[in-house]
Amino acid sequence: MGRKGGGRNAFVKATLHKTAEDDGPVESAAGNQTEPAVQTQNGVATGDQDTSKSVKVECAKAPAVTVSASDHNEDETRGQMVQRHKRELKVHKEAMKKLGKKRKDDIEKLDKEISDRHAAELAALEKRLAAEADTPDDGTVKLAESLYDTKLTSSQDKGGPQPSRAQKRRDAKAAQEAEREARIAEEQAAMGDSARVIEERSLAELLSPLGLAVRSIPADGHCLYRAVEEQLGSSGAREELLQPPHDYWAVRAKAAAYMRAHPDQFMPFISLEDGEEDEGGPEAAFEAYCCAVENSAAWGGQLELRALAQALRRHIAVYSVGMPRVDMGPEFQGEDEEGSLRLCYLRHAFGLGEHYNSVTTVAAGGDTDHE
């Protein structure tokens, strides 16, 4: 347009010599912007004393993005259409930047027009593809996916809040976790039934003829004590036999107290850890064991079951697959095993191995009895 600093004045002077038919907006070579027109009267610019004020600069509407026949045809695939939409959006956004913030209403209108056109084109394509495949039209899902990739979002066009880096990391981690879980599920399905599934099925087959079923207990290290507490609750003896708060911690305290009171029954079966023989001998090791029973999430086993049967004066029956039933405190077994506490022992329930669940009776309707 001339030397630096004289672009606008040179343009005005050149316009004054044009005829009235040249008064319309001048399209730039790039096709993305319209130069302002100068209003004239009989070939002479009005208000020549102040040329900058005499020129009415009107932002013409940005031209719609032109799509050539080579870009848009009836044989266009979905992928080609999405790529074309992306190219059009790129050109459109550049054009919108040149209109400036003062033309916000026009920009929003043009944004909506191109977004609606893209949506209509995608919908038409999905409908055609569905008809060609002679299958139910699932274009709604695919259309939503395409619009997610191509639409003008408010956060992009209006400077809205963007996801934080922490949120992006959480989203990425969640996606990876979902992918991992799906992969594990596929691998397990390909491998067939696991040892856990086989054991659970066999246990159900063992208990069903007896009118019994498994009641799951959390695997948190307290499973044996939780199962005993659940059994006491089912029989209505929880408050009678346990100290407040009548929970699995009270069951742990009951077992530890009985073991401390009868060390000869349990101390020979407590293995010493390395170095404990030099730190107080078997007595110190036994006391440390009892403290772990009472105050930690240490797993319980046969020793603790024996202590609980004696401390509670209750018969405890333990069912497991491939082994006869284990009875602790059989001298406390009532007629028809009324008042007995029933547990089941699983070897393959979780990755860490052994686990105890509660066993409950099954009502006539198939539901498990519970308080």
* From 118, 222, 315, 355, active-site residue: 355
| C-alpha dist (Å) from residue 72 to 82, 113, 121, 335, 362 | 11, 18, 10, 86, 68
* From 111, 222, 223, 290, active-site residue: 223
Torsion of CA 143, 147, 148, 154, to 10 degrees: -150
* From 50, 105, 134, 220, active-site residue: 220
3-class DSSP assignment, residue 73:
coil
Contacts of 42 (CB under 8 A, 6+ apart): none
CB 342 within 8 A of CB 231: yes
Residue 355 is among the residues annotated as catalytic for this protein:
yes
> How far is Cα 365 from Cα 278, in angstroms, rounded to an integer?
60
CA nearest to 81, candidates 142, 8, 164: 142
> How far is Cα 31 from Cα 326, in angstroms, rounded to an integer?
88
3-class DSSP assignment, residue 343:
strand
Is the four-CA dihedral 201, 207, 208, 209 of positive or negative sign?
Answer: positive
- What are the catalytic residues? 220, 223, 355
